[in-house]
Amino acid sequence: MGEQLAFDFRAPAPPIPAVVLRPHEDGRRARQDRGALGYHAGLSAEAQVVQDYERRGYAVLRKRWRGACGEIDLILQDGDALIFVEVKKSRSFDRALARLSQRQIGRLLRAGEEFAGTQPRGSLTDMRFDIALVNASGVIRVMENALGP
């Protein structure tokens, strides 16, 4: 019949070739991996938030709109009003909200004004700024008019 192959499990395993990285390359690669993971998690969170707003009857005008003043994750329309949405994802709602800095809020407000300037009513357009928080379980919490008076 066939030949029987024998394997001696007591023999030492052959060495596994090591990939030699310089210390700074290893850290750079880890940062790149975290950055790519964060980017894709952000895209997924934005897609979830879009579905939530669409389910509630809002029309999506733009995703990741970039102007001279900054980027807005989502721009929605409710009748004649514009809704600018900043999406933040983290392990918890509190951690997600903590990632929103005052500097970023300023950029969002300026970018919203810039986008409104492209609309027929300009800065007279009704606007609101929402913050959509997504936790590790994918649960969404929307803070409507979070940056308003």
- Domain that residue 43 falls in: 23-143
Rg (CA), the chain: 24
Q: Is residue 98 part of a domain?
A: yes
Q: Is 72 helix (H, G, I), strand (E, B) or coil?
A: strand
Structural domains counted in the chain: 1
Domain of 111, CATH number, reads: 3.40.1350.10
Tens of pLDDT along the chain (149 residues)?
555 555 555 666 666 666 565 666 666 666 666 566 666 666 789 999 999 999 999 999 999 999 999 999 999 999 999 999 999 999 999 999 999 999 999 999 999 999 999 999 998 999 999 999 999 999 999 999 998 76
Residues 6+ away with beta carbon under 8 Å from 119: 82, 125
| 115 in Cβ contact with 127 (< 8 Å) | no
Q: CB atoms < 10 A from the CB of 41, how many?
A: 14
How far, in Å, CA of 24 to CA of 63, rounded?
Answer: 35
pTM above 0.85, yes or no: no
